[in-house]
């Protein structure tokens, strides 16, 4: 017999002071409740109840075991209630991890907006330390990870949040003293600002794919935010995500170069455990982030690239 079932019958008999009343409260037969008590006494190896025609009372051993059963059943009820609230109400701790370069873009703005709108959810965002093994963040206590790599891992679920667009750019001050590049090969003649993890620049032109490894690398960093600051200071040409330089493109502090040669986009994924989307706080977060990125297009308000440049 299931131990929790017989414990529930035992507690109900004691609280009701009657086998018959306990049976009615549990919607069971009196014979089945009696069997539960007999099975429980057999399991613990001692008599728990004194039975007479007029009353049901606890034995000395029964007093202690009754308190034990009440505590266990109450803790189970609290846990079940907590789990139920997780699926019904957006609340609790939400731990998120993302690579540093993504976190230094407007992902931080989006997550801060979510936290402000959902005060019952306590958000923690860690930047850096994301493993190439996409599922490992789950074992480190994180519930959601952000990635830009295409994922083929059946142990996790993926939801695309946005498309990360990249452009070649430089400050007007740098371009004033150098010949403006017309095609990717011209970049070999220029001072370049490189991301430490990306020594090669990729371009798409019509159906052709080009690879350029800059030769005059004058500044290197492992974050695009720092590279954008170096570019604004006129140190050289960089390939940067548009979300990192939106304001600089609007103000003219940076200019887009080689507009006819597309730098490959990257998807921005939210990664989470299978079934986690049914937890209300995670479901709420995924919905919010998806709507946030739809509402904050990186192209809104940016200067148009002249058609003559697009035509080459």
pLDDT (tens place) for every residue of the chain, 312 residues total: 688 889 999 999 999 989 999 999 999 999 999 999 999 998 889 999 998 877 888 998 999 999 999 999 998 888 877 666 656 677 889 999 998 888 778 898 999 999 999 999 999 999 877 665 666 788 888 999 998 876 666 678 889 999 889 999 999 999 998 899 999 999 999 999 999 989 999 999 888 899 999 999 999 998 898 999 999 999 999 999 998 898 899 899 999 999 999 999 989 999 998 888 778 899 999 999 999 998 887 654 454 444 333 333
Q: What is the pLDDT of residue 290?
A: 93
* CA dihedral sign, ordered 183, 184, 186, 192: positive
d(CA 102, CA 166): 13
d(CA 59, CA 65): 10
d(CA 50, CA 39): 15
Read off the pTM.
0.64
Q: What is the pLDDT of residue 12?
A: 92
Q: What is the pLDDT of residue 298?
A: 67
Q: What is the pLDDT of residue 307?
A: 37
Domain ranges of the chain: 3-83, 89-312
CATH T-level assignment (fold) for domain 3-83? Arc Repressor Mutant, subunit A (1.10.10)
In 3D space, the residue among 11, 19, 5 whose CA is nearest the CA of residue 56 turns out to be 19
d(CA 124, CA 140): 13
Does CATH place domain 89-312 in 3.40.190.290? yes
Length of the chain: 312
């Amino acid at each position: 017999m299931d131990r929790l079932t017989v414990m529930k019958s035992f507690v109900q008999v004691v609280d009701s002071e009657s086998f018959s009343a306990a049976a009615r409260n549990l919607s069971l037969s009196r014979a089945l409740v009696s069997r539960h008590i007999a099975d429980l006494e057999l399991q613990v190896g001692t008599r728990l109840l004194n039975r007479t025609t007029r009353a049901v009372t606890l034995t000395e051993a029964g007093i202690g075991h009754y308190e034990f059963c009440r505590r266990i059943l109450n803790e189970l009820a609290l846990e079940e209630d907590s789990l139920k609230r997780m699926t019904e109400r957006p609340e609790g701790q939400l731990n998120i991890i993302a690579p540093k370069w993504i976190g230094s873009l407007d992902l931080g703005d989006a997550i801060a907006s979510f936290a402000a709108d959902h005060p019952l959810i306590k958000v923690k965002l860690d930047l850096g330390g994301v493993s190439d093994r996409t599922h490992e963040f789950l074992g480190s206590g994180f519930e959601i990870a952000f990635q830009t790599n295409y994922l083929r891992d059946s142990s996790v679920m993926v939801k695309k949040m946005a498309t990360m667009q990249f452009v070649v750019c430089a400050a007007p001050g740098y371009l004033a003293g150098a010949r403006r590049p017309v095609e990717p090969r011209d970049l070999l003649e220029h001072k370049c600002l490189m991301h430490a993890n990306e020594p090669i620049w990729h371009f798409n032109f019509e159906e052709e794919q080009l690879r350029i490894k800059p030769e005059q690398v004058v500044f290197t960093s492992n974050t695009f935010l720092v590279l954008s600051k170096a570019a604004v200071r006129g140190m050289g040409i960089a390939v940067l995500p548009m979300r990192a330089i939106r304001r600089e493109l609007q103000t003219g502090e940076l200019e887009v170069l080689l507009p006819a040669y597309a730098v490959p986009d990257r998807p921005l994924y939210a990664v989470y455990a299978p079934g986690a989307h049914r937890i209300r706080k995670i479901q709420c977060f995924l919905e919010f982030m998806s709507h946030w990125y739809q509402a904050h297009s990186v192209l809104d308000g940016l200067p148009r690239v002249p058609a003559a440049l697009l035509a080459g």
